[in-house]
Amino acid sequence: MSDLVVVRRAGLYCVPGQFYIDPWRPVERAVITHGHADHARTGHQHYLAAAPGAGILRARLGAITLEALDYGQTVTHNGVTISLHPAGHVLGSAQVRLQYRGEVWVASGDYKVESDDTCAAFEPVRCDTFITESTFGMPIYRWQPQAVIYAEINDWWRANAANGRSSVLFCYSFGKAQRILHGLDPDIGPIICHGAAEPLNRVYREQGVALPRTLTAAAVTDKALLGRALVIAPPSAAGTPWIKRFGDYSDAFASGWMQVRGARRRRNVDRGFVLSDHADWPGLMQAIKDSEAKRVIVTHGQIPTMVRWLTQNGLDAGAFETEYGGDDQHEDVAPAPPAASSPEAAATDA
């Protein structure tokens, strides 16, 4: 039997179904795994996505023709039965299950195995072929439980507040920001949120996700209060007048990439918190095992390492070249490596 999904110029393509999954060029029919910019692009004629993510897609893409499916609900298109299953990555994120003449393929999109309260938990889906992401597909990537990271963030905030310094936490605006908000202890002080994240907070709240109260920077004028504030801001806000209003603040960056040696210094921040919305190495291995797939196709990240490891472990492993991770506002993009001549270059390769 020929492959159910192949790579075409516009993206991953379901051959008998005649539709694309997260295409990077405009197409007629697109199944969208989630609202991050490198997966959900403008210009498609017809979108199919999981219902909990509909508000996010509309907030980011505007007026689109969108068919929203509940998780687990099926729809048949050109003989291919499609259903969407939670990927645990961000609100509304889904794995795409395709069934055609008794054969099942699952395209994971981005996923995270550890569950959190801001989106539906990752659901293992059995299949013959599993197309998996591999953003953090190297054995060095192992996350601590998120509760440990939230405690670190709150301790850092509390210590700064005691010294009258604002705490500026850089993170991506969709997904990471809301997860961090959910983990904050609002008793420490006011929480200020940059305008890039606030519209997404609104969508999360509309979907019933409990987030603490967030304020605009303009709403906090009292100097003492400002010194107790935690500020959530996108990386692009670094160095802007908006950030400078917080004066002599302490800053931090939250991302899975903070586990890479030298990443905090390259971001030039006081602290790095290792918190990712992607599976770590054990999480990827667990998801692949639970899928019971005999064949695994790796996309989006550390392809050679994963393919080698899976092949050594008796699986039929291959790769798809995709254009995901091309948006710098997304954790999928690895931080720029240090210049070859810099003294830290040799150390970070270790």
Burial class (CB in 10 A: 0-12, 13-18, 19+), 45: exposed
Q: Find the shortest distance in angstroms from Cβ 197 to Zn ion.
A: 15
Produce one character per residue of 243-273: b if its CB has 16 or more CB atoms within 10 Å, e if not. beebeebbbbbbbbbbbbeebbebbebebbb
Output 167 or 201, the one with its CB closest to Zn ion: 201
DSSP state, residue 108: -
Output 249 or 324, the one with its CB closest to Zn ion: 324
The contact mask relative to Zn ion for 320-339 (x = CB under 5 A, - = no) is ----x-------x-------
* Binding residues for Zn ion restricted to 73-112, rule: CB under 5 A: 110
Output 280 or 332, the one with its CB closest to Zn ion: 332
* Count of residues of this chain found to bind Zn ion when the rule CB under 5 A is applied: 4
Closest CA to 175 of 125, 116, 215: 116
Instruction: Give bridge partners of residue 95 from the DSSP assignment.
Output: 85
Q: Which of 29, 36, 264, 271 binds Zn ion (CB under 5 A)?
A: 36
Q: Find the shortest distance in angstroms from Cβ 175 to Zn ion.
A: 7
Say whether residue 22 binds Zn ion (CB under 5 A).
Answer: no
Output 110 or 251, the one with its CB closest to Zn ion: 110
User: Which residues touch 212 (CB under 8 Å, ≥6 apart)?
Assistant: 181, 182, 184, 186, 191
Q: Find the shortest distance in angstroms from Cβ 222 to Zn ion.
A: 37
Output 197 or 220, the one with its CB closest to Zn ion: 197
Instruction: Give bridge partners of residue 319 from the DSSP assignment.
Output: 298
Q: Find the shortest distance in angstroms from Cβ 37 to Zn ion.
A: 9
Rounded CA separation 91/148 (Å): 22
Closest CA to 30 of 49, 52, 13, 47: 47
* Binding residues for Zn ion restricted to 233-292, rule: CB under 5 A: none
Write out the residues near Zn ion by the rule CB under 5 A. 36, 110, 324, 332
